[in-house]
Amino acid sequence: MTSEAEQTSEGIFGMHSPAGDPAPDGSELRTAPRFTLLIRTAKLISSTGEYLCIVRDASSTGISVRTFHSLPSGKQFTLELPNGDQHSIECVWEREGAAGFRFLVPVDIDRLLHNKSRYPKRAVRLKLQLPALISCHGHTAGVVVHNISQQGAQVESALYMAIDQKLRLESESLPVIQARVRWRKGSDYGLVFDDTFQFAELARLAAKLQGSCHIEGGTWIPNSEFTNPQAD
């Protein structure tokens, strides 16, 4: 099950008339030509966490985005695009489901529009430090979810799991997720979900997760008799 954002994330774009953009106290956002970006997924990073959004239009001086919840307090954010590019931005206006930002430094609009990158395209990942449980073959162990996307997650676990191992991931802050192991490196595991999140669903969930992602250093990994003592 894929989201609207996933279906058109290549970023179809064209010239955009500024007449429909609400930008109180932000008319300077319109001093440069603006382009419509249809469904360009991204994330907003603040001091309180990471939040999903969709970039709707952009110029070399600012952007407007679709949001799925109220933004955290504060005006300073970092916009991170799927290719890893980051831009410092300041919130100029916000209304239900949308917000406008100015770039603190002018950007390369051509690179932003075309999402240029040396790396393969991949889904936007949200960094977390979320305690959770993994269950497989009748065993349950504590893990930490380090990041999550629509299709999967990276977790750290003392419980040894094989490639393609089927498992259940659960947390007080997450729905029960059926998944399997895609890769492993030491105690880090990459999981792929059996059912993907809708983009809007993950965006709203991520906003709620921010207050649940605090772990005291060195306390999360339980002693596990199921840990494989052999290195990969």
Count Cβ atoms below 10 Å from residue 36 Cβ, excluding itself: 18
42 within 8 A of 54, measured Cβ to Cβ:
yes
Q: What does the alpha-carbon distance between residue 110 and residue 107 come to, in Å, rounded to a whole number?
A: 9
User: Tens digit of pLDDT per residue, the chain (232 long)?
Assistant: 444 444 333 343 343 433 334 444 444 445 566 666 556 899 999 988 899 999 998 888 899 999 999 999 889 999 999 888 999 999 999 999 999 999 999 888 888 877 766 655 677 889 988 999 999 988 999 999 999 999 999 999 999 999 999 999 999 888 999 999 999 999 999 999 999 999 999 999 988 887 555 544 333 333 333 334 343 3
Which residue, chain included where needed, has tokens 């309180």?
48
Distance CA 36, CA 38 (A): 6
Q: What is the CATH number of domain 126-212?
A: 2.40.10.220
Q: What is the pTM of this model?
A: 0.73
The per-residue pLDDT for 227 is 38
Give the helix ranges, DSSP H, for 77-198. Answer: 109-114
CATH class of 4-114: mainly beta
| Nearest to 51, CA basis, from 206, 200, 205 | 206
The C-alpha atoms of residue 26 and residue 81 are separated, in whole angstroms, by 23
Q: What are phi and psi of 179, to 5 degrees?
A: -150, 180
Give the pLDDT confidence score for residue 174 in this predicted structure: 87
Structure tokens at 24: 């109180």
Asked whether the beta carbons of 40 and 11 are under 8 A apart, the reply is yes
Range(s) of the chain covered by CATH 2.40.10.220 = 126-212
Look up residue 198 and give its DSSP letter.
P
Q: Which amino acid is at 162?
A: A
Grouping H, G, I as helix, E, B as strand and the rest as coil, residue 195 is coil
What pLDDT, on the 0 to 100 scale, is given for residue 38? 54
